[in-house]
Structure 1
């Protein structure tokens, strides 16, 4: 049993994880939005990302951002945003062919189960729907956040060798994965 949730601690399979766009008005989306707005980052992660309660309204106000919930067996357990603009011009030579993954996190009680890796693998259909011309997904991850770096690598991202120095919490690695 997992002490944090009193549920069996099992690794997630790709079939257990789905992404739900949060920019539509349906009962399922309203429930998911309410759930992600209650999620909080783990205290040690607060310097690297923003809670959905702060990031979701910003995404709603920006037509280039598409917020989504990470669902595990239908239950919202995480949050993220695909951005068609953002800082892409600083990260790649082909910003019109890329998306930026930002504000991505899982609620602390769901971390360490392979859900993040499965969510990264599930990005392709959402990415194609959001930006049909995009060929890759980019992200920046703080160099002082090794657990996130390991998670992204396990989720199919690779290091580009570039660094982004404009982050609030210090230097960040730029990572990428192709959209299949």
Structure 2
């Protein structure tokens, strides 16, 4: 597993995964390019044999007490092997580095695998946004994780050893 900072040159690989993972509500290429260029977040890619097979991003303004996981996605052939967990843990560590004390995210209510990952990493459901994901009319489960500094350092350490 190779996790590294995303670059503008990764956009095509990221968008291929974005479009296949979220066929009805994928981000536009322009929106993703803006995210990659923003100083307010950190995007990582997971590579296998030099090919982008996953990505994730966190919006964490330096010094802000909270952060948001923007997205995590993996090529379908590479799911279920701990790569999503490693991406998540690395994004949480990046949020802590920027001073965040808690992280929020939304997950589709029809994605129990992702929701299960977040629950297993300590996130808790704090609310729902009815029909948030369009055009599918799928609710968003809003989740929150408190970030005790030592626990996140341990998470980052674990992400490098999976």
- Pick the TM interval, shorter chain: 0.5 to 0.7
**Closer/same/farther in 2, CA of residues 77 and 118 from structure 1, 3 Å limit:** same
Q: SS where residue 171 of structure 1 aligns?
A: strand
Q: SS where residue 121 of structure 1 aligns?
A: helix
1:53 to 2:37 alignment = no
Shift of 1:100: 0.6
Runs of 4+ residues over 6 Å off in structure 1: none
**Structure 2, unaligned stretches of length 5 or more?**
153-162
Shift of 1:71: 3.9
Aligned to 2:70: 102
- Cα RMSD of the aligned pairs, angstroms, is 3.0
Q: SS where residue 71 of structure 2 aligns?
A: strand
Matched pairs, number: 143
**Structure 1, unaligned stretches of length 5 or more?**
1-15, 23-28, 86-95
**Closer/same/farther in 2, CA of residues 60 and 76 from structure 1, 3 Å limit:** closer
TM-score, normalised relative to structure 1: 0.62
1:174 to 2:150 alignment = no
**Closer/same/farther in 2, CA of residues 162 and 46 from structure 1, 3 Å limit:** same
Q: Which has the higher strand share?
A: 2
**Closer/same/farther in 2, CA of residues 17 and 64 from structure 1, 3 Å limit:** same
